[in-house]
């Protein structure tokens, strides 16, 4: 299965910490979605939007089931894993699973678009890594 990531998981250091493995990856875009910052957090969520909207991210290729299970634990019940069509930088269009904010949880999204460059420049990536260093919850659950 391919996995489309658009927020913290598109950074290799976060992906590696959560999943514990590396996979080949390619840049990609999800059309018809918009990305917003989660209220009180540095990470984002995506929601269905107009067909003009596009979310840029990274597609990890051929991710195994154990790694997806770790991702499910990391993303928890706030997100819903859905299969989307992603236009990839290598010219391929791939079906990839992505963690989308379902309507019931969209009330915690701000109206502030989340941007990769601003996230890095503001120190958000460093803050996120410090806050979730070790991802003990994911590691403990995956080892059981």
Does residue 142 fall inside a structural domain? no
Look at residue 141 in the predicted model and tell me its pLDDT: 46
In-domain check, residue 54: yes
Residue 44 belongs to a domain: yes
Q: How far apart are CA 142 and CA 71, in angstroms?
A: 10
Residues 104/110/111/117 CA torsion (nearest 10 deg): -120
**Mean pLDDT per 10-residue run, the chain (144 residues)?**
96 88 97 96 94 97 96 92 98 98 97 93 85 57 48
Query: Does a structural domain hold residue 66?
Result: yes
pLDDT computed for residue 134 by the predictor: 56
pLDDT score of 135 = 56
CA distance 30 to 54: 6
Task: Count the domains in the chain.
Answer: 1
Neighbours of 92 (CB within 10 A): 13
Phi/psi region, residue 76 (left: phi>0; alpha: psi -120 to 50; beta: rest), is left
Q: Which residues span the domain enclosing 91?
A: 3-137
Report yes or no on 143 lying in a domain: no
pLDDT at 42: 86
Q: What span, in angstroms and rounded, lies between the C-alpha atoms of 83 and 94?
A: 10
User: For position 13, what pLDDT does the model report?
Assistant: 86
Instruction: Please report whether residue 123 resides in a domain.
Output: yes
Query: Is the residue at 45 inside a domain?
Result: yes
Angle between helices 12-19 and 124-131 (to 10 degrees): 10
108 located within any domain: yes
How crowded is residue 79: how many other Cβ atoms within 10 Å of its Cβ?
A: 18
Instruction: Give the chain's end-to-end CA distance (angstroms, integer).
Output: 23
- Residue 124: predicted pLDDT: 86
Q: What CATH number is given to the structural domain containing 123?
A: 3.10.490.10
∠33-116-67 over CA atoms, to 5°?
Answer: 75
pLDDT given for residue 35 in this prediction = 98
What pTM value is reported for the model? 0.89
């Amino acid at each position: 299965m391919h996995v489309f990531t658009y927020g913290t998981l598109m950074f290799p250091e976060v992906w590696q910490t959560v999943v514990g493995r590396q996979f080949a990856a390619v840049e990609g875009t999800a059309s018809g979605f918009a990305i917003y910052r989660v209220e009180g957090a540095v990470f984002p969520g995506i929601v269905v939007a107009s067909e003009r909207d596009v979310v840029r991210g990274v597609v990890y290729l051929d991710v195994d089931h154990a790694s997806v299970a770790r991702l499910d634990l990391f993303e928890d019940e706030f997100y819903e894993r859905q299969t989307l069509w992603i236009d990839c930088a290598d010219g391929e269009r791939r079906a990839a699973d992505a963690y989308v904010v379902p309507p019931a949880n969209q009330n915690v999204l701000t109206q502030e678009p989340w941007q990769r460059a601003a996230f890095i420049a503001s120190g958000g990536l460093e803050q996120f890594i410090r806050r979730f260093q070790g991802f003990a919850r994911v590691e403990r659950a995956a080892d059981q």
